[in-house]
Amino acid sequence: MNATKLLLILPLLAAFAYISLVGLTYLSQRALLYPGASATPAPERASWGQNASIQTPDGETLHGLYSRGEPGQPSVLFFLGNADRVSNYGFFAQALAARGIGLLALSYRGYPGSSGTPNEHGLLIDGIAAFDWLAARSGNEIVVLGQSLGSGVAVDTAGQRPAVAVILVSAYLSVLSLAQTYYPFFPVALLTKDPFRSDLKIAGVRQPKLFIHGRHDTIIPLSSGEALYQIAPEPKQMLIYDAGHNDLWDARMVDDIIRFVQSQKGGTAIPPPRTDRNLTSR
């Protein structure tokens, strides 16, 4: 092969490789976004609380774990991260129950115990269905808590339902903006199926908001959470821990969440955040 032919072929090979990589990313994006999806059935015995079965208006059956709160006490509706399991939060349910606070942790469609296949449209339906299920059973105020991927579900749900407050842990401006950061050389805006545009919805979340983020988060950078915080309407506060994405949960964080939840009872103001050398308020 002479040099002229080689110069013609190399750009074609590079273009083919690029198009193939873009196509592979497009086809596999939901597997990447929802790694926790699984056809695993719900266990017969709940690891904490009790098994909950929630019907969605589009015909799916969702699994959740539910710990009922005491009369007059609020409940927390928990939307988990994309690779998490509701069974992992017995410690949180126990800490809430010690203060009389209820908890419903939802397994999204396509996740263990739930029917269907995960996608943004479906997860947002799941969020509303879970809120309505909890509202019908608890009869008390509901605080919506969304972590990582679940922060987008929480923002959407709180914008459409009368939650008394919202907690956003490791929140993002949008999944689209994260994808643009991860894949700067791809036409991400044209390829992303599930953009989760919290940036376009946060203005409708007028309830008190607590943002929690890890300073060293490499999955959802602090800058993304801070950008969402900046455009969120008051009232709001932000707590930043010296932690990453997967090591945020500890007794201190649980205590901060409980204090925030309890402060919403009866419409009281957001308390000032506790500060120490590992925690910064914004």
CB distance 178 to 172 below 8 Å = yes
SS3 readout for 217-250: CCCCCHHHHHHHHHHCCCCEEEEEECCCCCCCCC
Query: Any catalytic annotation for residue 121?
Result: no
Q: Which of 156, 194, 217, 256 does the annotation list as catalytic?
A: 217
Bridge-based pairing of strands 102-107 and 75-79 is parallel
Q: What are phi and psi of 221, to 5 degrees?
A: -55, 150
**Smallest Cα–Cα separation from 190: which of 203, 178, 180, 205?**
180
Query: Any catalytic annotation for residue 148?
Result: yes
Count the alpha carbons within 13 Å of 270 in the hemisphere toward its beta carbon: 21
Q: Which of 67, 138, 148, 177 does the annotation list as catalytic?
A: 148
Distance from C-alpha of 154 to C-alpha of 79, rounded to nearest angstrom: 7
CB distance 80 to 106 below 8 Å = yes
| Paired tokens of 28 | 């596999």
CB distance 179 to 162 below 8 Å = no
CB distance 56 to 64 below 8 Å = no
Query: Any catalytic annotation for residue 213?
Result: no
Distance from C-alpha of 43 to C-alpha of 167, rounded to nearest angstrom: 28
Residues designated catalytic: 148, 217, 245
